Structure 1
Amino acid sequence: MITVTDVSKVYQSGEVETHALKKINVMIENGEFIVILGPSGSGKSTLLNVISGLDTVTEGTIFFAETELTALSEREMTKFRRDHLGFIFQQYNLLQNLTAYENVQIGADIGQNPFPIDDLLGKVGLTKARDKYPYQLSGGEQLRVSVARSLAKNPDIIFCDEPTGSLDEINSKKVLKLLQELNTAYEKTIVVITHNAGIAEMADKVIKMNSGEIIELIYHDVKKDAQDISWG
């Protein structure tokens, strides 16, 4: 699905250059559960941002199937993200004056082939909370609304930026279990960035990063269930 070839990213501040990515080469296949793993400053967030078109590359190419993302204009990239990509962030970004149902509907309204909203709320365990506002929901419930909103437009791939960073272990594993089920039930490609090595145990492929480089690719023939991964 995604082919990254010789991608580098350099940030310039005055005369200082920061090489956030250095000649990255990697492939992400349809239906894979990918974990990009590394400490703070390793380049994992930058890699997610350039793969998803939230940021541009300094050099190199990124293809999504037959579409060269690195050749798209800003307007074309915005349309591509709207049509094909879903995002789950550590901050839930829910609209406080809308119910859970209405927040998810925002995602469905921009999709060309959206999922039924009530079906999604049932999938994430929020049927009884469909008419509640964000302030009436726990942090874990708000994140599940965010997950449902991301999935509502039926994207090809879902990018997750430290999705459990603000949750405790119990709620984190609930969210990870949900992502695992989405990967299996809906055959969605999932890309998660994290510094938590335990989350890597549930991935098909782990992209380990440090200092802007991929230092190791790890493949799992047998993946752990989200509830059984180690933590911390």
Structure 2
Amino acid sequence: MIKLTDVTKTYEAGGVRTEALKGVSLEIEDGELAVILGPSGSGKSTLLNVISGLDTVTSGSIIYNGNELTEFSDTEMTRFRREQLGFIFQQYNLFPNLTVLENIQIGAEIGNEPLNVEELLKRVGLYDLRNKYPWQLSGGEQQRVSIARSLAKNPEIIFCDEPTGSLDEENSKQILAILQELNEEFGTMIIVITHNTGIAEMAHKVIRMNSGQIISNTVNPVRKRARDISWS
């Protein structure tokens, strides 16, 4: 479980203070697929960054399975991210001179208990493309490589920052279906930030943000399959 208590984040630049997070308290359970919604500037990206250790908090605490992440040293946080977290971004961040297989192997090599790469390639529908290079793939295929690379090290949590932001509806739903199936099959906690309200329909938990604060935190009584969600 991830538990945030009274988390704040303040940036200062040119004498101007910006409160990106204002006393955020939140719990996300192991195995949950959580969606964080909000407009640009609502604080959702900052929230993802402090939960994942990509940024530090100004005050408050973040505890993951009994570990006080906000007290970790830089070395401890780097190790935590490397061994236990996976990241999927809107930009695929693939190595252009490596094949699909080689890109995914990089993820497996940094995991303590990595998944079988060939089985994973089949799982995400990339086995026949394993010797292709990123420039030979569609956007949806490249995002599938990004997901497989993230999953290869067998992380406990996957953070997704607008993972379908540059894809059309059909490819987006294919990507979301993979994430939903991985969450259900492996029990991986998945945290997605997005402005697309339709994606919330497939989540266990929906967190809505505005002006650096959580304005609602609800549990879906019924979750839709990714391919059946509304699109906006």
Indicate whether the TM-score tops 0.5.
yes
Give the Å deviation of 1:66.
Answer: 1.2
Rounded Cα–Cα distance in structure 2 between residues aligned with 1:175 and 1:158: 14
Match of 2:86 in 1: 86
Rounded Cα–Cα distance in structure 2 between residues aligned with 1:188 and 1:49: 19
Rounded Cα–Cα distance in structure 1 between residues aligned with 2:141 and 2:77: 31
Match of 2:220 in 1: 220
Where 2:170 maps in the other structure, the secondary structure is helix
Q: Which residue type is aligned with residue 5 of structure 2?
A: T
Moved more, 10-19 or 45-54: 10-19
Q: Which residue type is aligned with residue 47 of structure 1?
A: L
Match of 2:141 in 1: 141
Match of 1:153 in 2: 153
Give the Å deviation of 1:218.
Answer: 1.4
Matched positions, count? 232
Match of 1:170 in 2: 170
Where 1:18 maps in the other structure, the secondary structure is strand
Which ranges of structure 2 fall in alignment gaps of 5 or more residues?
none
Rounded Cα–Cα distance in structure 1 between residues aligned with 2:177 and 2:20: 31
Match of 1:18 in 2: 18
Give the Å deviation of 1:14.
Answer: 2.4
Which ranges of structure 1 fall in alignment gaps of 5 or more residues?
none
Rounded Cα–Cα distance in structure 1 between residues aligned with 2:119 and 2:184: 16
1:4 aligns with 2:4: yes
Q: Which residue type is aligned with residue 134 of structure 1?
A: P
Give the Å deviation of 1:58.
Answer: 0.3
Match of 2:102 in 1: 102
Rounded Cα–Cα distance in structure 2 between residues aligned with 1:90 and 1:120: 21
Q: Which residue type is aligned with residue 87 of structure 1?
A: F
Q: Which residue type is aligned with residue 226 of structure 1?
A: A
1:195 aligns with 2:221: no
Q: Which runs of 4+ in 1 moved over 6 A?
A: none
Match of 1:54 in 2: 54
Rounded Cα–Cα distance in structure 2 between residues aligned with 1:229 and 1:190: 17
Rounded Cα–Cα distance in structure 1 between residues aligned with 2:14 and 2:166: 34
Give the Å deviation of 1:17.
Answer: 0.4
**What's the TM-score once normalised by structure 1's chain length?**
0.99
Q: Deviations over 1:33-66 (max 9, x none)?
A: 0000000000000000000000000000001111
Rounded Cα–Cα distance in structure 1 between residues aligned with 2:2 and 2:230: 29
Q: Which residue type is aligned with residue 34 of structure 2?
A: I
Rounded Cα–Cα distance in structure 2 between residues aligned with 1:136 and 1:118: 20
Q: Which residue type is aligned with residue 203 of structure 1?
A: A
Q: Which residue type is aligned with residue 154 of structure 2?
A: N
Rounded Cα–Cα distance in structure 2 between residues aligned with 1:38 and 1:122: 34
Match of 2:41 in 1: 41
Q: Deviations over 1:164-190 (max 9, x none)?
A: 000000000000000000000111110
- CA RMSD, Structure 1 to Structure 2 (Å): 0.5
Give the Å deviation of 1:10.
Answer: 0.2
Q: Deviations over 1:4-28 (max 9, x none)?
A: 0000000001221000000000001
Q: Which residue type is aligned with residue 108 of structure 1?
A: A
